[in-house]
Amino acid sequence: MARNGFTLIELLVVIAIVGILSSVVLTSLNDSRSKAANSAIKSNLGNIRVYAELYYDTNTSYGNYPLGVCPSSGSGSMFHDPTILAAINSANNASGNSNGSRCAIIDFAWAISIPLKKSEGAFNHWCVDSKASLKGKTDAIISTSC
């Protein structure tokens, strides 16, 4: 007698195996997305250093901006520069938490911190400042330095 198909048990076992494998793949994919978002945050903040120096060379000051949530549009400071503003907005979008961002400028010093999408060890924020610091922090900035 020839057998022309699979039994119900065989099909259920195959479906269970496919389900387990897909859950493993989706878990890895979500972790990779978080790492990619963190890399985007770090890259955007690193780019800000270069453009901030160009702004300073042109204007002889970074301007002033009180410690607070980073602006989403220009102001009377280096945040008026469209490239710097675009980098901040891109980092905020990658973070998914624009209310957690912090910016501060006082004439000759500035700092920006953006929350990471996913914590990296003890670090929940990524920070860049006018002293060439580019590093992880446990909390948002509270002054014009990391």
Q: What pLDDT score was predicted for residue 4?
A: 76
Q: What pLDDT score was predicted for residue 1?
A: 57
Residue 38 tokens, joined:
């963190």
Domain count, the chain: 1
Average pLDDT over residues 111-138: 93
1 in a structural domain: no
> What pLDDT, in 10s, does the model give residues 4-62?
778 888 889 999 999 998 888 887 777 888 899 999 999 999 999 999 999 999 999 99
H/E element, 90: helix 82-95
H/E element, 59: helix 8-59
114 in a structural domain: yes
Among residues of the chain, what percentage have pLDDT more than 90? 66
3 in a structural domain: no
89 in a structural domain: yes
